């Protein structure tokens, strides 16, 4: 294992210290509770928005704390759900009296820990709404599984709900918008290489030099199929077909196209992928009206990418365009 | 003699010991169908529990169990933290104020733990989870005390039934948790959660 770390045990704390040192104008880190909190939280009268999950997906979620997006993030150990104490501390820290939205990715650990935290916060008299993101079309059978995993749409939902909360929308409205983004978004990912959890010291799974895994999860969960490496054009087809069929996206739709790097993929390859995505969607009469290209929801050093499409209307487009200033996303602010 | 506070504390210490010894085994089982950290997480949680026990050594059994529950919720993470945490919290609530346990109290605590896990995890029997070891153990314990057998025999019956339930998870296809992403490929592997449940049951049985 070759990594830029001091020790596997200290990697999350060391990263948080770096985040705090770099972005003191936007956020602070409460090391006792292991949470990242917006510098001026709580904002009185504003709905607070928190999210969280295992570490190793940076910049998600800590890199999205700031103005116009998340009010707090709860990082767990690498690929391990945070605990309810963190979420409760974050909920208290961002409660400005208008209630708090929990954005939860659909993994059993995250769901159960957030559920306990919501119960504890409500017992404290804080109004909490929880929305689960489950956009990964690689998981087919939701009746006989824990359901679809939460992936790329999470980033879009955090931006859009953050804008709505900043504009003064009440809790139920912000929660409804989050559900709307989740209902409009679909994703699928693929891996060229595995990744190594620092505490484990060895790759999470094995993938041959000439192989790729289509439908990979962001913790290296198995995908739909393992096969010989294809071209960017073929891979784009394999990721987009199930996404397009599932919603379904139709000719005439306007979409936000998000081409995301898994952590070990250079931007040159992500633009090659974006070109393929654009070509396929154009041929189907689907218009990309907004895009996001870069590594925003990652799997440590895994090489590969995911594609997320979110169907946009005027409301979602305006909220996407609203000012945001966080370590990882910034425009018009 | 009815189990008292000292028996409960001794059971928790033996459980911590067993989890520590089986840490790698539990993680290896988890690596096959989950994310490979079940042993690490449970060992971390019960190490924290051992630190907390001296502070509640004079408390009633309900308080001791609730303390175990809140400690696990705060330290384990993953899915097992809320599941085991809820089990101990519910058992502690059911046994609030008790200084010693009649056989019917033990059954009450076990029932509360099982119901807590099933409610929190929205799990039924036969889904390749902790429930598949705990549910038959609770059944066996109750059947045994209902025919008037001593608690020690009932605990032996519970541990044996739990281990049978654990082995019966091997051919099952998981429909809950991370293992469910594997679908049919989850068959042929023993469930790590059901396995850790049997460590608690066995630790109880050797307590009497």
Query: For residue B37, what pLDDT is reported?
Result: 84
Interval B163-201: pLDDT, tens: 999 999 999 999 888 888 888 888 999 999 999 999 999
- Residues in chain A, total: 333
- For residues A139 and B43, the model is more confident at B43
Domain limits, chain B:
5-205
Identify whether the C-beta of residue A328 lies closer than 8 Å to the C-beta of residue A22: no
Chain-centroid distance, C-alpha A207:
24
Least CA distance to B41: which residue of chain A? A80
Arithmetic mean of pLDDT, A199-207: 87
Identify whether the C-beta of residue A117 lies closer than 8 Å to the C-beta of residue A87: yes
Q: Is B175 in Cβ contact with A112 (below 8 Å)? A: no
Q: Read off the tokens for A33.
A: 């509770």
CATH architecture of A185-313: 2-Layer Sandwich (3.30)
Q: Is A115 in Cβ contact with B181 (below 8 Å)? A: no
Q: Read off the tokens for A247.
A: 């919603």
| Percent share of chain B, pLDDT over 70 | 98
With contacts defined as CB-CB under 8 Å, which chain A residues touch B78? 80-81, 109
With contacts defined as CB-CB under 8 Å, which chain B residues touch A149? 181
Kindly indicate the confidence band of residue A202, based on its pLDDT and cuts at 50, 70 and 90. Answer: confident
Q: Whole-prediction pTM value?
A: 0.92
Interval B16-69: pLDDT, tens: 999 999 999 999 999 888 888 899 899 999 999 999 999 999 999 999 999 999
Count Cβ neighbours within 10 Å for each residue of A28-59 and write b for 16 or more, e otherwise.
Answer: bbbeebbbbbbeebbbeebbbbbbbbbbbbbb
SS3 A129: strand
* DSSP code, position A59: T
Arithmetic mean of pLDDT, A284-309: 98
ipTM comes to 0.86
Query: For residue B2, what pLDDT is reported?
Result: 78
Query: For residue B1, what pLDDT is reported?
Result: 62
Arithmetic mean of pLDDT, A13-41: 98
CA angle A173, A177, A180 (to 5 degrees): 140
Count Cβ neighbours within 10 Å for each residue of A66-100 and write b for 16 or more, e otherwise.
Answer: bbbbbbbbbbbbbbbbbbbbbbbbbbbbbbbebbb
CA atoms of A209 and A190, how far apart (whole Å): 15
Q: Which of A59, A63, A119, A54 has its CA nearest to residue A91?
A: A119
Task: Please indicate if any CB of chain B lies within 8 Å of the CB of A211.
Answer: no
CA atoms of B75 and A214, how far apart (whole Å): 34
- For residues A80 and B129, the model is more confident at B129
With contacts defined as CB-CB under 8 Å, which chain A residues touch B70? none
Question: From the list B77, B180, B183, which residue is nearest A109 (CB)?
Answer: B77
CA distances from A238 to A141, A179, A187, A241, B9 (A): 18, 27, 12, 6, 56
Classify domain A11-184+321-331 at the CATH topology level: Rossmann fold (3.40.50)
CATH architecture of B5-205: Alpha Horseshoe (1.25)
CA atoms of A259 and A265, how far apart (whole Å): 11
Kindly indicate the confidence band of residue B206, based on its pLDDT and cuts at 50, 70 and 90. Answer: low
Kindly indicate the confidence band of residue A143, based on its pLDDT and cuts at 50, 70 and 90. Answer: low
Interval A78-94: pLDDT, tens: 998 999 999 999 999 99
Whose structure tokens read 């907390």? B52
Q: Which of B117, B35, B111, B45 has its CA nearest to residue B83?
A: B117
CA atoms of B186 and A243, how far apart (whole Å): 26
Q: Is A108 in Cβ contact with B181 (below 8 Å)? A: no
| Percent share of chain A, pLDDT over 70 | 99
- Other C-beta atoms closer than 10 Å to the C-beta of A216 total 31
| Percent share of chain A, pLDDT over 90 | 92
Beta bridge partners of A70: A65
Q: Is A80 in Cβ contact with B41 (below 8 Å)? A: yes
Best of B24, B42, B78 to mutate (most A CBs within 10 Å, chain A): B78
Burial of B30 (0-12, 13-18, 19+ CB in 10 A): buried
Interval B86-107: pLDDT, tens: 999 999 999 999 999 999 999 9
Arithmetic mean of pLDDT, A158-171: 98
| Span of A70-74, A76-80, A239-243 with lowest mean pLDDT | A76-80
Q: Is A217 in Cβ contact with B181 (below 8 Å)? A: yes
Domain limits, chain A:
11-184+321-331, 185-313
Does A142 have pLDDT greater than 60?
no
Does B207 have pLDDT greater than 70?
no
B53 CB-near residues (< 8 Å, 6+ apart): B9, B12, B13, B64, B67
Arithmetic mean of pLDDT, B73-85: 93
CA angle B82, A16, B39 (to 5 degrees): 35
CA atoms of A75 and A141, how far apart (whole Å): 29
Q: Is A84 in Cβ contact with B74 (below 8 Å)? A: yes
| Span of A116-130, A160-174, A218-232, A306-320 with lowest mean pLDDT | A218-232
Does B208 have pLDDT greater than 50?
no
- Tell me the pLDDT of chain B averaged across its residues: 94
Query: For residue B178, what pLDDT is reported?
Result: 84
Least CA distance to A53: which residue of chain B? B78
A51 CB-near residues (< 8 Å, 6+ apart): A61, A64, A70, A73, A74, A102, A103, A104, A105, A154, A158
Query: For residue A144, what pLDDT is reported?
Result: 66
Q: Enumerate the active-site residues of A.
A: 57, 219
């Amino acid at each position: 294992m070759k990594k830029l770390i001091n020790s596997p045990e200290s990697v999350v704390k060391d990263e948080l210290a770096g985040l705090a040192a770099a972005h003191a104008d936007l956020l602070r880190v409460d090391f006792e509770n292991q949470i990242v909190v917006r510098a001026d939280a709580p904002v009185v009268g504003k709905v607070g928005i928190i999210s969280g999950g295992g570490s190793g997906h940076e910049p998600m979620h800590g890199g999205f704390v700031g103005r116009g997006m998340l009010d707090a993030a709860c990082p767990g150990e690498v690929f391990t759900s945070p605990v309810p104490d963190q979420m409760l501390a974050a909920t208290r820290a961002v409660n400005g009296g208008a209630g708090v939205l929990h954005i939860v990715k659909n993994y059993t650990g995250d769901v159960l820990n957030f559920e306990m935290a919501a119960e504890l916060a409500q017992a404290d008299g804080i109004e909490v709404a929880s929305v689960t993101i489950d956009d990964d079309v690689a998981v087919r059978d939701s009746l006989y599984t824990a359901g679809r995993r939460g992936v790329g749409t999470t980033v879009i939902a955090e931006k859009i709900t953050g804008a709505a909360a900043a504009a003064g929308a009440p809790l139920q409205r912000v929660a409804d918008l989050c559900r709307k983004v989740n209902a409009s978004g679909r994703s699928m990912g693929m891996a060229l290489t595995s990744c190594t959890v620092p505490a484990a010291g060895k790759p999470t799974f094995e993938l041959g030099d000439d192989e790729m895994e289509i439908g990979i999860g962001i913790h290296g969960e198995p995908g739909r199929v393992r096969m010989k490496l294809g071209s960017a054009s073929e891979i784009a087809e394999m990721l987009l077909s199930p996404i397009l069929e599932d919603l379904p996206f139709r000719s005439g739709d306007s979409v936000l196209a998000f081409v995301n790097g898994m952590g070990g993929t250079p931007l040159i390859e992500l633009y090659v992928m974006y070109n393929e995505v654009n070509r396929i969607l154009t041929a189907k009469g689907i218009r990309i009206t907004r895009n996001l290209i870069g590594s925003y929801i990652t799997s440590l050093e895994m090489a590969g990418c995911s594609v997320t499409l979110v169907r946009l209307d005027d409301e979602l487009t305006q909220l996407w365009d609203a000012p945001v200033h966080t370590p990882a996303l910034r425009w018009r602010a | 003699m009815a189990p008292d506070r000292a028996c409960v504390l001794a059971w928790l210490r033996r459980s911590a010991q067993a989890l520590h010894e089986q840490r790698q085994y539990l993680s290896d089982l988890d690596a096959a169908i989950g994310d490979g950290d079940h042993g690490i997480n449970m060992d971390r949680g019960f190490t924290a529990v051992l630190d907390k026990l001296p502070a509640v050594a004079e408390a009633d059994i309900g308080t001791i169990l609730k303390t175990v529950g809140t400690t696990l919720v705060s330290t384990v993470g993953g899915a097992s933290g809320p599941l085991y945490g809820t089990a101990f919290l519910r058992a502690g609530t059911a046994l609030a104020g008790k200084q010693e346990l009649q056989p019917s109290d033990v059954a009450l605590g076990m029932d509360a733990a099982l119901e807590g896990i099933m409610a929190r995890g929205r799990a039924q029997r036969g889904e390749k989870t902790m429930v598949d070891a705990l549910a038959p153990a609770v059944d066996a314990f109750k059947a045994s005390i209902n025919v008037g057998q001593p608690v020690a025999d009932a605990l032996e019956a519970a541990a044996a039934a739990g281990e049978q339930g654990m082995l019966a998870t091997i051919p099952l296809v998981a429909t809950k948790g991370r293992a469910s992403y594997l679908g049919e490929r989850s068959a042929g592997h023993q469930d790590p959660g059901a396995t850790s449940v049997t460590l608690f049951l066995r630790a109880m049985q050797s307590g009497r």
